[in-house]
Amino acid sequence: MRLSQLSLSLLAAGAAVVRADDLPVVEIATPSGQMKYDRPVITAKPGSQIKLVFRNNDEMPHNIVFCRPLAGENDKGMGVAQDAWKLAEKGMEMGWIPKDHPRIWAHSKLVEAHKVEEMVLKVPDEPGIYPYVCTFPGHAMAMNGQLRVAAAGPGFDDVSFRLYLGEWSELPDFSKLKPHREGPLPAKLVDIQLEGMTEHFGLVFEGTVTAPEDGNYRFLLASDDGSRLFVDGKQVIDHNGIHPANDVRNEGVALKAGPHRVRLEYFESAGQEELYLAWAGPKFSETALSKAIHPSRRTGGDDGGQRQEPGMALIPKNGEALIYRNFIAGASPRGIAVGYPNGVNVVFDAGRFSLPLIWRGAFLDARQHWTDRGAGEIQPLGFGTVQLTGDRPGLAQLHDSTAAWPEGGPRAEGIQFLGYQLDAKRFPTFRYRMGEALVTERIDPAGDYKTSDERLTRTLTLAHAPADLHLRVAAGSFKEESGKWVLNGAVRIGVEGGSVLLRNGGELIVQPALVNGAGKVTVSMEWLNR
């Protein structure tokens, strides 16, 4: 086990040492190919210690860096991540952690793919929201969360129960029924484990909670089967019917400082039985009012209803490329996405015969196309996304290089797609025809996400091509640098094998150098934000 730097300083200061095995455990994982933490919110008490288990289930390295908040701002740790990216070539050896950064109070190392790190954290004494973030370049936009530090709130001042026997599919009118038994609950916690009851019973709990101050409070309720919550006689949550306790219902109530009466109705039909009740206030975190704790709350974390559904990450493996043909954001309906094993991803548009989109890191999450109606366009999972060509076709015949480029559309006129061939690594070579001209196109990735130097080379080979054939490489804002062009400050583009023209400051086109209709154009692209 590796202790965080803060934990080490805590021990060195002579503070009481608690065995890691005796501490509450909080687990945070990175789902494979999804570029996120599976827990966007965790909670802890001020000054407490927790054992954090960080599981990197992804194909890329990640870290988790805990930051001090900025007063009056909610930057999700982005400022710390941006400072980490400035480490440049030293970043990997330093785990993308800027040493002695004033906002960092605890962090993991850079955890490799499918590895686990355990840390003992001393939670800050000051209540507040402390962001955590992955500082690997480009990850922070999606990989961030919150550690909410707040004290536990008050429990019931008093609470009693009335037990009813009966078989229902919905909550009955308990006022018309005679209780089987009733009395106080000395532990002052809602408890359905009474007299060994397992099915065909109902309970009504009534008690008093005291709000420490005026403000907005929220009540949380989960039940198997039906339940209903009232505060000061007003219904707050209705979770009636026969159902499992998967859902934690969450509703807000404005309360004045002082005592408030709470009434909770519950029934169990058959099968599993479960009841969870809690509340939270302006200065205290989610505090259980029931003896049972909901499974989503048993590891020290409160996901606030934000836990993400599992995805269907598409992950290139075994050194082979992965091809996905479906609706991809930024391409026509004939987009073909290719994920290469080093973390380079592209979309070839077989409707417009262009390369409209490139990005780094994780490839795609196909869940959207395999659930419900499977509609819509899916977004790239990774980072460093660059839009290259928009909706215009990638090839055109221009009578001169100043002529307007043809308008866009889902299908480019006069160009025929001939499919693609796969090599031994399943890298595709695309083939298409424009009149008599035959074009083959291939992407060769280089570098690796582990060294943060991903790049690619796009090679177009032409045969029987007319002299006025032109290639549209990219469109946007350009800056020339030593014979290359920087697009939108994000990617550096180099071109060989033709005459390059930057038209109107926003359109990079190439007229291939041809000999008897044959030629080759090579376009190199490298990301600047490493």
CB contact at 8 A, 30 and 361: no
CATH architecture label of 5-149: Sandwich (2.60)
So what's the architecture of 313-527 in CATH? Distorted Sandwich (2.70)
- What are 385-418's pLDDT values in tens digits? 899 998 889 999 998 888 889 887 777 788 899 9
- At 469, give phi and psi (nearest 5°): -75, 135
On the 0-12 / 13-18 / 19+ scale of CB atoms within 10 A, 11 is middle
The pLDDT value recorded for residue 311 is 57
Rounded to whole angstroms, how far apart are CA atoms 529 and 479? 16
pLDDT (tens digit, 9 = 90+) per residue, 261-314?
999 999 999 888 899 999 988 888 788 999 988 877 654 444 433 334 445 778
User: Does the pLDDT value for residue 338 go beyond 70?
Assistant: yes
pLDDT at position 71 is 73
- Which range, of 240-244, 291-295, 425-429, averages the lowest pLDDT? 291-295
CA-to-CA separations, 305 to 15, 151, 205, 297, 343, in angstroms, rounded: 36, 20, 25, 11, 32
Q: Which residues contact 339 (CB under 8 A, 6 or more apart)?
A: 314, 315, 316, 321, 322, 323, 324, 345, 363, 364
What CATH fold (topology level) applies to the domain 158-297? Jelly Rolls (2.60.120)
Percent of the chain at pLDDT exceeding 70: 90
Q: What percent of the chain has pLDDT over 90?
A: 56
Element (H, E) at 266: strand 258-268
Of residues 141 and 512, more confidence is placed in 512
**Structure tokens belonging to residue 383:** 């980072």
Residue 529: per-residue pLDDT:
65
Domains 5-149 and 158-297 share a fold: no
Q: Which range, 38-42, 102-106, 189-193, 327-331, is most confident?
A: 102-106
Note the Cα 322 to chain centre separation in Å.
22
d(CA 60, CA 142): 14
| DSSP annotation string for 204-253 | EEEEEEEESSSEEEEEEEEEES-EEEEETTEEEEEE-SS--S---EEEEE
Q: Which of 261, 240, 72 is nearest to 160 (CA)?
A: 261
The pLDDT of residue 6 is: 37
Going by pLDDT thresholds of 50, 70 and 90, the confidence category of residue 523 is: very high
pLDDT at 441 over 90: yes
Of residues 266 and 140, which shows the higher confidence score? 266
- According to the model, what pLDDT value does residue 293 have? 85
Helix or strand (DSSP H, E) at 369: helix 367-370
Q: What is the pTM of this model?
A: 0.54
**Residue 449 pLDDT greater than 90, yes or no:** no
Query: Residue ranges per domain, the chain?
Result: 5-149, 158-297, 313-527
3-class DSSP state of 267: strand
DSSP state of 187: T
Backbone angles phi and psi of 78, in degrees to 5: -60, -35
SS (H, E, C) 60-111: CCECCEEECCCCCCCCCCHHHHHHHHCCHHHCCCCCCCCCCCCCEEEECCCE
pLDDT (tens digit, 9 = 90+) per residue, 453-510?
889 999 999 999 999 999 999 999 999 988 999 999 889 999 999 999 998 768 999 9
Could you give the strand order of the β-sheet that contains 249-255, starting from the edge strand earlier in sequence?
151-152, 284-288, 274-281, 215-224, 249-255
Alpha-carbon gap, residue 272 to 255, rounded angstroms = 34
